[in-house]
Structure 1
Amino acid sequence: MFERLFPRRKARPDQPPQPNPQLALGALLVRVALADRNYQAAEVGQIDRILADTFDLKPLEAAKLRATCEALERHAPGTPEFADILREEVDYAQRRALADAMWSVALADGDRDPGEEIQLLAIETALGLTDADIAAARQKALAGH
């Protein structure tokens, strides 16, 4: 009798995937864009371009990857765990280039936001970048802004 009134809910199979370097990068890009609590179309487009260029994806594939990364970012571990995945799999020069990409996401909406800059610093530090390389990425991004 109670089964009809209160049916059991099925387990949700929509658990986010385990992060790999591709998903970790995407989730960190999304995290930067969300740091100011204002996720704009310009930032979404910039994330899609970065994912497409980095992983040689077609625009639709990049958008699907970003959507997966958005879900992962909402349910996933903190920044250090994503950064650890990238530190293990990506060489230093590429991680330095990732900092440039993340700055381009942070500035894609045309605004400098302290929350985004704090998030960027945390990510760059977790990626193991030197203070000099962090400062250079910031200076390069702001010079072009």
Structure 2
Amino acid sequence: MFGSFLTRITAAQPDPLAANESSLALTALLVRVARSDGAYAASEKARIDQVVTARFNLSDPETKALRAEAETLEAEAPDTVRFTRAIKEAVPFEDRVGVIEALWQVALSDGERDQFEDALVRLVASMLGVSDRDSALARQRVERSE
């Protein structure tokens, strides 16, 4: 189902993603962060839905359908490095801190700061060109708003 999409985003020189593809890729990355600790809690799914609805201005059924597609894509996707590269190409630099903030929202939504989720968010931040400091500030903003 996602074979051609995965082939395109993992190519040596991937083409920029269309808007619907970038929303799918970003949602799949949110799912990957949520699953990285071995548990995929209802609170994490709810937070993904909340982030996706706000970020992409979707209805509830559209959000749930996108998350379902993203869950499948995440399970089939290659390593995080190549997967994140596609998001880097799709998201302008000035918007990447917002991506990291969204990842922290999901990672912290279950009320625990897990080392695996932490490590994955830090890795993704680095690959997106977001500094450790900016990632930490994004995490602190999320923690204050919880």
TM-score category of the 2 structures, normalised to the smaller one = 0.7 to 0.9
TM-score by length of 1: 0.83
1:58 is matched with 59
Distance across 1 between alignment mates of 2:145 and 2:56:
24
- C-alpha distance after superposition, 1:74-101 (max 9, x if no partner): 0012212222122112112211011111
Contact (CA 8 Å) 2:37, 2:114: kept in 1 or not?
yes
Shift of 1:51: 1.1
Q: So what's the TM-score if we normalise by structure 2?
A: 0.82
Q: CA contact under 8 A between 2:122 and 2:132: conserved in structure 1?
A: no
| Residue matched to 2:101 | 100
Q: Counterpart of 1:16?
A: 2
Q: Distance in 1 between matches of 2:80 and 2:23?
A: 14
Mapped contact 1:79–1:126 kept (Cα < 8 A) = no
Match of 1:40 in 2: 41
Output the CA distance in 1 between the equivalents of 2:118 and 2:77: 21
- List structure 1 segments (4+ residues) > 6 angstroms apart after TM superposition: none
1:110 aligns with 2:111: yes
Indicate conservation of the 8 Å contact 1:49/1:59, yes or no: no
- Counterpart of 1:16 in structure 2: which amino acid? F
RMSD (Å) for aligned C-alpha atoms: 1.5
Structure with a larger share of its residues in helix? 2
* Cα distance in structure 2, aligned partners of 1:144 and 1:50: 14
Q: Which residue type is aligned with residue 35 of structure 1?
A: S
Deviations 1:18-41 (A, max 9, x none): 153111101110011001111011
Residue identity matched to 1:117: D
Residue aligning to 2:137: 136
Distance 2:145 2:50 in 1: 18
* Equivalent position of 2:13 in the other structure: none
Whether the 8 Å CA contact 2:33–2:117 is kept in 1: the answer is yes
Distance 1:57 1:144, change over 3 A: closer
| Structure 2 runs not aligned, ≥5 long | 7-20
Distance, in Å, in 2 between the alignment partners of 1:55 and 1:61 is: 10
Query: Which residue of the partner structure matches residue 87 of structure 1?
Result: 88
Larger Rg: 1
